[in-house]
Amino acid sequence: MPEGDTVYLAAARLRAALAGRELVRSDFRVPRYATLDLRGEVVDSVGSYGKHLFVRTPRVSIHTHLKMEGVWRVFRAGQRWTKPGFTARLVLGVADAEAVGFSLGLVEVLPRADEHTATDHLGPDLLGPNWDAAEAVRRLSAEPERPIGLALLEQRNLAGIGNIYRSEICYLRRVHPATPVGDVPDLPGLVDEAHRVLTKAAHEPPWRAVAYGRQRQPCRRCGNGIVVHLLADDHVERAERGVYFCPRCTPLPTARRV
């Protein structure tokens, strides 16, 4: 699933193509909005919050979420699309460009005044101008027994982290992903690391993983092999995603071993 930096960069691309421009094409390929026509409206702004992306006109906010397979791409007017047309769920065109959302997991149109309802349930946005580290720590601390590797995925704690970055953040802080939140030695430091990692990925791409996806490859600190394990969780299906770590550099605290 695309993570906060991917959505942040997608919003930047759409903003460069659409912001301040009049829509000449508006094609919603979802049944609920099939008859909605925004031609003639000017795009005020494009922004993101965690994994959510918003294209705003004076009247409405177009809210999309990429989910597992979604992607936004920008094309020159008349340019051939690089993905199959049947996967396009939304097309927004200006005079010389088209923004196409392929395989979007969510498309909804909200009155501008109601945009907040799409994000009210989320924790602080790691890439937002109002990032609040103390609030993120407070929310994480509310479930001290939950493994940190799962708590970081919970968007109600802090918005923008997915499977890739939870592995990276735990690795960089030398915290085993199964460590309960209450046992993390420096939770504010870990939250600051999350902010640093995503900010760097968003502003200095391309980003290179140091743990994620490197199963059986040597740890860049100690040379031991990186492993991937599953974390059990009663709440969400996300437990099926593997988390990567070095068992030598980030051992599970002795009291928690089974």
Alpha-carbon distance values, 200 to 11, 95, 114, 124, 134 (Å): 16, 33, 31, 17, 20
Angle between helices 4-18 and 187-203 (to 10 degrees): 40
Secondary structure percentages of the chain, helix, strand, coil, to 5: 30, 25, 45
Catalytic residue numbers, as ranges: 2-3, 51, 241
What one-character DSSP code corresponds to residue 8? H
Helices then strands, counting H and E runs in the chain, come out as 5, 10
Structure tokens at 110: 């909200």
Alpha-carbon distance values, 14 to 9, 11, 181, 183, 227 (Å): 9, 5, 37, 42, 38
Structure tokens at 2: 């695309």
Cβ-count burial of 125 within 10 angstroms (0-12 exposed, 13-18 middle, 19+ buried)?
buried
- Integer Cα distance of 258 and 245 in angstroms: 18
Extract the runs of DSSP E, i.e. beta strands, from the chain.
Answer: 25-28, 45-49, 52-56, 60-65, 71-76, 88-94, 97-102, 106-111, 227-230, 242-245
